[in-house]
Amino acid sequence: ELSRPKALLDLFAGEKAIKYITSLPVYQKQASSPKFKEFLGVVSYLEATLGTDWRTGLAKLTGGGVTFAICPEDTVILIVEAQDEQMLNQLHEVFLNFAKAEADKQGRPDRVASKQYQDVTAWTFDGKEAHTIIGNRLVMANRPEGLKAVLERRAEAGGASLASKLTYQTAKSKIGSSAVATVFADLKLLVQIPEVSELLEQQRKNPLASLAFAGIVESVRDSNWLALGLDIQDSTLILRSLVDGKTVAQTSPAAFALPKEAGDGALPNLSVPRRIAALTLYRDLHEFYAAKDELFPDRTSGLIFFENMMGIFFSGRDLTNEVLAETRPDLRFVVAEQQFDPAIGTPQIKLPAFAAVLRLRHPEQFKEVAEEAWQKAVGLINFTRGQNAQPGLIIDRPIHGETRFTVAYFSTAQIEDKTKLDTRFNIRPALAMPEEYLILSSTDGLARDLIDSLNHEKERTVKPLAETHSLVEIEGGRLASILEANRGVLIRGDMVKKGGTQEQAEAGIDMLITVVKLIERVELSIGVHEGLTQARLEMKLNIDEMRLTNDK
């Protein structure tokens, strides 16, 4: 339900937004195409016919609100409430004439037809959809049976409605009345759809998915309803999500994701230079893996392979009680753009660096165990590459601050042209263990930045985010930067994948980069409050990007 369309129109169709969009090379390229010119001609015709500009007309035609419903039997309903009833009827008359002209052109005049139903006239413009105008409301359905059901329900005196359902009333009250738009879903119906049911069941078969989405899938599966509410604050979109499921079995993945003590929760995300994304999870790896037989009675080949490899790396130590028991329920991940040293070389495809950070219970006892396992992993890689006559990794032990860490790298000493190195030179795997933390990084540069970040965090005495078990942050500007750095590679990949022309691929990739640039920052947090699973998504739009472009 879009209750305040004007708020979205002001944000996405305001003067600044339109000036920015029309100044983009992607838009200007499309504007010169015959089809786009034809579209603009139709818009101009409608403006002249309705006696208004398109922005004002759209506001008047949708100002009362928009409702979109997905119903059983593959039925979709759309209700648009206009502020200007006369304009709505004018617009319908225009499209009716368009439809008749097109049907006559195709020799199918029967495709446009009307039918009287009680006190209203129902229309179809293509023989498939059906719609009618009731006062200032346009009511549309993707099939005639859907519109008929709506009109029959309207004719019932005191008949049941969605608004009278207790689940709907509860969900709406939890979201609040300030939302610009809301979504309500009957989850008991939704999970009966085979595709949705299969998607939810996949978590039971995939340990990594169970760990990553613990507490989320179970809440959806065990809830009666889902509610979403969208608010707008300045240039920030805030989306809140709620489900009413509260039951958590002791052996479900959620039992190892939900904070057990008051004040417990995920730690704030780590901040490093050139950060693209960060993820923090509150997950008890020890208890989760200890319950693997109950969670995954049919162990997959992937899980068996993982256990065997861990047995090799950790010299036969028990993975549950001697390895994972050493970790605290604080898992943090970081992705950052790399800075390449010209003396070492620059890869042709520039991949971001990524790292995982774990907090240890007994760091002094576990450090050598982790170091041995890491070096065994590097040795296995070198052994495999050596069998294929490929160069291996060289291990070094530099010091950063007060932390000595281990890094492995491919040498570029014998390579003359260091400007277009192979993709493998994006990787310089590193292991660092500053105080109680263990850092596994794809590059030594990111490992150094994380050592600094953790030291700075210690000085500030960072506290957990109470009741929050998952936190994600994405920096749009940095993501756009990495896309621009690989623009040529992305264009070639798009051409191969889709079989299109270079011009088409360039337009698609440039549009993607443009959209990403408009998103300054995204933050998603998921947790439990007052027994309800809640998610909060904040998306801050880069309005300064619009202002900058307009000023230029």
Distance CA 434, CA 455 (A): 8
pLDDT tens-digit profile of 430-478? 999 999 999 999 999 999 999 999 999 988 888 899 889 999 999 999 9
Residue 301 has a pLDDT of 73
The pairing of strands 519-529 and 532-541 is antiparallel
Average of per-residue pLDDT across 132-143: 96
pLDDT tens-digit profile of 34-55? 888 899 999 999 999 999 999 9
Residue 545 has a pLDDT of 54
pLDDT tens-digit profile of 391-414? 999 999 999 999 999 999 999 998
Residue 549 has a pLDDT of 46
Distance CA 255, CA 15 (A): 50
Highest mean pLDDT among 178-187, 294-303, 536-545: 178-187
3-state SS class at 488: helix
Distance CA 477, CA 223 (A): 37
Average of per-residue pLDDT across 87-105: 94
Higher pLDDT, 530 or 176: 176
Mean per-residue pLDDT over the chain, rounded:
89
Average of per-residue pLDDT across 165-190: 90
For 520, phi then psi, to 5°, come to -75, -45
Average of per-residue pLDDT across 140-150: 94
For 278, phi then psi, to 5°, come to -145, 145
How would residue 551 be classed by pLDDT, with cut points 50, 70 and 90? very low
Distance CA 55, CA 14 (A): 8
pLDDT tens-digit profile of 197-249? 888 887 777 888 888 888 788 888 888 899 999 999 888 999 999 998 765 55
Task: Give the tokens for residue 488.
Answer: 């040529």
Distance CA 542, CA 477 (A): 9
Average of per-residue pLDDT across 23-36: 81
DSSP state of 323: I
pLDDT at 79 over 80: yes
